[in-house]
Amino acid sequence: MIMVTGTFRLPADRLARALPAMSAMMAASRAEPGCIAYAYAQDLLDPALIHVVERWRDRAALAAHFAMPHLAQWRSQFAVLGITERNLELVEGEAEST
């Protein structure tokens, strides 16, 4: 399993404008084969900070995600939305069974 976690920033006054784009990105990504989880969450203490959590079946699924049109569309909106300070980390490991 591949886990991608991290954060990005956007001006708090642009959050309302960003929400539809963020929701569309989440919905399209969650529908991809190999996507286990995909979420954005606003930090409660810092409204300009957005947390990212992604889980993918394997590297092939993540590579396919990078080629998706909805990812290109999302990235094309970064400048307009004022998205900066993208910090993402990839970790590969096994899913813990319960």
* Domains of the chain and any CATH numbers: 2-92 (3.30.70.100)
Structure confidence by residue, pLDDT tens digits, 18-34: 999 999 999 999 999 99
Question: CA-to-CA distance for 91 and 2, rounded, in angstroms?
Answer: 6
Does the structure show a pLDDT above 80 at 96? no
Structure confidence by residue, pLDDT tens digits, 81-91: 999 999 999 99
Contact 2, 62 (CB under 8 A): yes
CB neighbours (10 Å) of residue 23? 11
Structure-block tokens of residue 94: 């096994």
What mean pLDDT do residues 29-49 have? Answer: 97
What is the model's pLDDT at position 59?
Answer: 96
Question: CA-to-CA distance for 89 and 87, rounded, in angstroms?
Answer: 7
85, 82, 8, 75 alpha-carbon torsion, rounded to 10°:
-100
Structure confidence by residue, pLDDT tens digits, 52-75: 999 999 999 999 999 999 999 999
What is the model's pLDDT at position 98?
Answer: 62
Does the structure show a pLDDT above 70 at 97? no
